[in-house]
Amino acid sequence: MNRTPGSMIVAAIILIISLFTSAVPLSAQSPEVPVEELRNTAPKVFLDCGYCDRDYFREEITYVNWVRDRVDADVHVLMTDQSTGSGGREYTFAFIGLGACAGLDNTLTCASGPNDTSDEVRRMQVEVLERGLFPYVVKTPIAEFIDLEFREKLQPTSIRDPWRFWVFSVSADARLSGEESRSSKSLDMNFSANHVTPQWKVRLGLSADNDKRVYSYEEDGVLETITSISKEKDLSFMAVKSLSEHWSIGGWAEAESSTYGNVDGYFSLAPAIEYNVFPYSQSTRRLLLVRYRIGWNHANYIEETIYEKMEETLFNESLIVSLQIREPWGTVSASAEGSHYFHDLSKARLELRGDLSFRVFKGFSVEIDGRYDIIHDQLSLPLGDLSLDELLLQRKELATGFEYSISVGFSYTFGSVYSNVVNPRFGRTRHW
Band (pLDDT 50/70/90 cuts) for residue 239 is very high
What average pLDDT does this structure show over 128-141?
90
What average pLDDT does this structure show over 312-335?
92
Residue 265 sits in the same domain as residue 399: yes
What percentage of the chain exceeds 70 in pLDDT?
83
Residue 278 sits in the same domain as residue 328: yes
Tell me if 1 is assigned to some domain: no
Residue 365 sits in the same domain as residue 381: yes
Instruction: Provide the residue range defining the domain that includes 383.
Output: 243-412
Tell me if 423 is assigned to some domain: no
Tell me if 83 is assigned to some domain: yes
Residue 84 sits in the same domain as residue 203: no
Q: Whole-number mean pLDDT of the chain? A: 84
Residue 406 sits in the same domain as residue 271: yes
Of 84, 112, 145, the residue that ends a domain is: 145
Beta bridge partners of 230: 211
DSSP assignment string, 213-248: EEEEEEETTEEEEEEEEEEEEEEEEEEEEE-SSSEE
Looking at the structure of the chain, the number of domains it has is 3
Burial category of 299 from C-beta neighbours within 10 Å (exposed 0-12, middle 13-18, buried 19 and up)? buried
**pTM for this one?**
0.67
What percentage of the chain exceeds 90 in pLDDT?
48
Residue 289 sits in the same domain as residue 372: yes
- The length of the chain is 432
Lowest mean pLDDT, pick from 58-67, 271-280, 302-311? 58-67
Distance CA 143, CA 41 (A): 10
Tell me if 104 is assigned to some domain: yes
Q: What is the pLDDT of residues 187-219, one digit of tens each?
A: 999 999 999 888 999 999 999 999 998 988 888
Model confidence at 407: pLDDT above 50: yes
Beta bridge partners of 100: none
Band (pLDDT 50/70/90 cuts) for residue 50 is confident
Residue 213 sits in the same domain as residue 254: no
What CATH number should be reported for the domain holding residue 394? 2.40.160
Tell me if 178 is assigned to some domain: yes
Rg (CA), the chain: 32
Residue 208 sits in the same domain as residue 305: no
> Is residue 348 a contact partner of residue 399, using CB atoms and an 8 Å limit?
no
Model confidence at 23: pLDDT above 50: no
Tell me if 430 is assigned to some domain: no
Residue 370 sits in the same domain as residue 252: yes
